[in-house]
Amino acid sequence: MSMKYKAALEVCKRHADRLSWAMARLRLKFPLTAAKLRELDDIELAILDQFSTRFAKLQDAMGANLFPAILELTKEQGNLVAFLDKLNQLEKIGAISSAERWLLLREMRNQFSHDYPDDPVFQSAMLNKAYELANDLLAVLDRIESFAKNYI
């Protein structure tokens, strides 16, 4: 097993475990509304922060480290400079199901970098979308791990 792949996978799995934990703790709060968001206690808000942070970190770690490690592991990295080219190659070899879907996950991650403290309606809508997409993000990690077993 490539050390680069192994290290990237370990980091991703740690983020995924913590994301899954936060999702399980928040499950009964979703779907969120502006009113429900305002009623969350400090612990629930901290878990919501954990959710958004781990979503972003997992998405970042996969894109920055795990995907390049997969391309290296499969000897498919070639001259792929642009990230979109890498995504398309990962889709072509079956490591991910859809480059377009990954870009949607990336867009969601980018939404977390903006804070809208005065707009609970927007916040709740964004978090509801993220909560739905989090399962997709975890599924991409599972697919990558299964895919990589053919090359280890």
Cα separation of 138 and 92, whole Å? 20
pLDDT of 77? 67
Domains of the chain, start order: 3-151 (1.20.120)
**pLDDT beyond 80 at 51:** yes
When pLDDT is cut at 50, 70 and 90, the band that residue 1 belongs to is low
Tokens representing 68?
């390049």
**This prediction's pTM:** 0.93
pLDDT cut 70: percent of the chain above it: 96
Model pLDDT for residues 96-112, shown as the tens digit of each residue: 999 999 999 999 998 88
**Minimum mean pLDDT among 73-82, 90-99, 134-143: which range?**
73-82
For residue 149, what pLDDT is reported?
95
